[in-house]
Amino acid sequence: MANQAGSSRARRNRPEVGESEERAWYVIHTYSGYENKVKANLEKRVDTMSMEHQIFEVLVPMQDEMEVKDGKKKLVQHKVFPGYVLVDMSLTDESWYVVRNTPGVTGFVGPGSRPSPLPPHEVEQVMAHLQAGASEEAVRTRIDFSAGQPVRLLSGAFAGFVGNVEEIDQEKAKVWVSVTMFGRETRVEVDADQLEEV
């Protein structure tokens, strides 16, 4: 008896395709590198098939990063979840078909063949992360150097010196370089944009 009640409760929480389900966020898996193309294809299909009442938003979460390479800073966008696209929709036979048959989509994320909506707390975390990432202070710096790599210092008291990267702090965009001065190894802390590859 308890098993029957539990299984009927599970069916109520996750209706069969065809039954109307409340609006929720779902995750679809795509071919790697095709996330933006899938988003564009799906939005076009929603428009041409008049599915705006069932598929509300398609999102490829992106994050700005400051990339430092050869002493130059460049703002680039990186996908937060490579290979995945988020879709805000009501799950029905029609909406499932439109999403599932969009070129580049390999399937919905969920147990078995049934898509499962993202839990509300995970949606809140993703949206909060995206909003925090939109502020200028939150832009992360990605340093394209590695420990042991030879580099040249471009400015400061050690400009022109060549040394080896000892340590990297991605959060603060700082790099510690070991340079030889007066016949001794000296550890120098510099900003990542003060270095270039040798």
* pLDDT at residue 8 in the model: 34
* pLDDT at residue 44 in the model: 96
Which residue ranges make up each domain of the chain? 2-139, 145-197
pLDDT tens readout for residues 98-144: 999 999 999 998 877 778 898 888 888 888 877 765 555 545 666 77
Pick out the chain residues at pLDDT < 50. 1-20, 138
* pLDDT at residue 190 in the model: 87
* pLDDT at residue 14 in the model: 37
* pLDDT at residue 189 in the model: 87
Of residues 128, 136, 144, 116, the one with CA closest to residue 80:
128
Q: What is the pTM of this model?
A: 0.59
Q: Does domain 2-139 have CATH number 3.30.465.10?
A: no
How many alpha carbons lie under 13 Å from residue 129 in its C-beta half-sphere? Answer: 14
CATH topology of domain 145-197: SH3 type barrels. (2.30.30)
Task: Provide the 8-state DSSP code for 64.
Answer: E
* pLDDT at residue 56 in the model: 95
